[in-house]
Every structure is written in C-alpha cells, then in structure tokens.
Amino acid sequence: MAEAFGRRLLADVEVIGFDELLNSLKLSRESSPRWFNCAQIDDILQHVTARSKAPPVLEFTSIGAGGGKTHLLYLLASLAVLPTQYGGRSGCVVVVDADGNFSVARLAQQIRHRLSTWASNKDKTTINTIIRSALYHVYIYKPQSMRDLVEILAELPTYFLRHNHNSLDRCMSLIAIDSASAFYWQTRAEEETAAFTASMQSSATPEGPTERAVTYADLRNVIESASKALQCPVVMTSRHIGRLPRSMAGELPRVLRPCLSPPLAQLPTLRFIVRRVPVKKIPSGLNPEEMLREHADQMKIVAMARFECFVDEFPLNIRDVQTLRATQDGFYFRIKSEGVIMETALVEAENEV
C-alpha cells in the first residue's frame, strides 16, 4: 500500500531543467518583463501581452530599402549588451545577418551615443573600453541560404547552453534576424523545383532519396525553439514583397498584409510597419516665392531624417486594436550620424497637433 502511494506521489512530481527553474524564479520577481529596455516598444508590448510571460517575437517590415529597420536593430542590440548601470540588459546578442548589411562600426557608434548620455562623466578611454567589452558579447552569423539560416538558429541553444563561449556569465538578451525575407525568391524556387522533381519521380522509377527543400515552416520552428530554450525575444526584419496598398502613398496605413509564407507570418507577437516620414508635395498654383518657401520647409523635414514605426493591425483582434489606438500604437525616431534617437509616441504626437 505504501509502495502504491509512493508511486502516485512520484507521478505527480514535475521534472524540469535547471534553466527552466531559474527562468521561473526570474519571472516571479518580474511580473511585467521589460524585454528590450526600450520604453516605446516595451510599453506597446505590455498593452498586448500583459498576461504572457513568453518572450515576444517582433517583426519590423517596410515597403523597400531605407525604411530604418536595421537601425532599430542597432538600437535594440546596443541596449541588450550594455551593462545595467548604462540602461542596458548586460546580456549577449546573436545577429543573423542574412542580408549582409549589418555594420559592427554602426553598432559601436550606437553604443557610444547611448553612453554619451548615461556615462557623460567618463573619459574617452573608459568609454572605448565599455564599447569593446559590449561588442565582445555580440555574435554575428552570415547565412548564405535558407538552409544555413535554419541550421544556425537550430544550433543556438546547444552552443549557448552547453558549450564554452565568451558570454557564459550572461543571459541571451536578443536574437536579431536581418532579414527573414532575404532568401524569399531562392526558397520559392527550391520549393517549386522540389515539387516538380517529386511529381516527375512519382511517374518513374525513383533513383534514390532527394534532399527536402527547407521552408518557412522550418524557419518558424527553429525560431520558436531557440526563443523558448534561451528565454529571449526575437526581432526579425522583412521587406514587403508583392503589391503595394494604395494608402501607402498618402494617408498613414494601419494594415499591411504579410508577404511571407503563413507559417512564419503567423509567428510574430507584433508586426511593426516602418517608413520614413513622407514629405508633402508642393501644392500647385503657388507663385515662385511661395514655392521656394515650401521647398525650404521640405528640405528641413528631409534633414530631420525622421521615421515612424507603428503596429500593423492586420493580425490583431478588435480589442487589441482599440487598446493600442487609445494608448500607444507606435513611435517616431530619427536616424542621425551618432545613432538612433527615439521620439514621441504617435498618439501623444497626434494629441499635440
């Protein structure tokens, strides 16, 4: 009888790993996680994921190049690796540079810009030491295909949890993928080739096993696994592929249909649309003096290098849309030579007008 009772008690015991135990203790101390130490983004996340403890997956998308997506990654990566006394998270960062455009020099400049405010009393030598120490915990991978991208992400938990590396005393604070759409056409061609080959082999004698094409479903699976195992947020960028909505040329759009394959398109906790603040056209019917004045105003706006980032409402339910519109659904930022400068929330800016 005692033996049976012991078996029943043993069956009720939940076995978890040491990393899961540490994470549960961390979450119990922090009821509302601030995943990025970026007030504009963290505040928006709290409105939508207030009850969720799972690390978020964010997507920054734009219509074309030059939208400011990668510069936001520089900002978030700098906050992830900087020490807590300088407003950072004292973590490490993985950057998967699929586009081949990620600049370590620009990331260092963004860190320096942060320190100009948080460590203004430090001398130049100390600042450079802090920057070098922070960059020591940035890991950059450069995949050449979708298969490379998936394999890199699949190996991250094993490497960072079971092997010796430079950041053993730090937690993973961010996985950045720039961009998730880098191999879109290559992947599409491989999928079509694989489907054609399979159809041809079905009517002929098979010559042997063929290598399966890697899909966006595989990419989604490894992103989810890495985020869960390392308990860190994932931020990916993408470039819109397909027809453009008419509203993009005029009024600020709130909805942009995902262009990537549904398995991946359904993964992000939030999707953000990023674009440069449009410059109004010079109205017709002006005299030369008025046109010159309007042109001067245009040049001032261009020189500000101002961008807007707002939540894509396409995948959200009505309740979340109403909450975000009533509180905060985006923000402005500027891209200057010294780095990204965050500005007012969109809702606050609209109220000031």
Confidence band, pLDDT 50/70/90 cuts, at residue 39: very high
The answer to whether residue 293 is domain-embedded is yes
Residue type, 153: L
Q: What 3 state SS string does 1-31 have?
A: CHHHHHHHHHHCCCCCCHHHHHHHHHHHHCC
Neighbours of 175 (CB within 10 A): 24
Q: Which pLDDT does position 213 carry in this prediction?
A: 76
Q: What's the mean per-residue pLDDT of the chain?
A: 82
Residue among 66, 59, 35 at smallest CA distance from 49: 35
The answer to whether residue 12 is domain-embedded is no
Higher pLDDT, 245 or 117: 117
Q: Which pLDDT does position 86 carry in this prediction?
A: 94
The answer to whether residue 24 is domain-embedded is no
The answer to whether residue 261 is domain-embedded is yes
The answer to whether residue 3 is domain-embedded is no
Q: Which pLDDT does position 352 carry in this prediction?
A: 42
pTM score, two decimals? 0.81
Number of domains within the chain: 1
The answer to whether residue 201 is domain-embedded is yes
Q: Which pLDDT does position 5 carry in this prediction?
A: 53
Q: Which domain holds residue 316?
A: 41-352
- The CA distance from 312 to 43, in Å, is 16
The CATH number covering residue 245 comes to 3.40.50.300
The answer to whether residue 53 is domain-embedded is yes
Q: Residue 51 above 70 pLDDT?
A: no
The answer to whether residue 321 is domain-embedded is yes
Higher pLDDT, 72 or 13: 72
Mean pLDDT of 82-96: 95
- Choose the weakest-confidence range: 215-224, 266-275, 303-312, 343-352: 343-352
Q: Which pLDDT does position 353 carry in this prediction?
A: 37
Kind plus residue range of the DSSP H or E element containing 151: helix 146-162
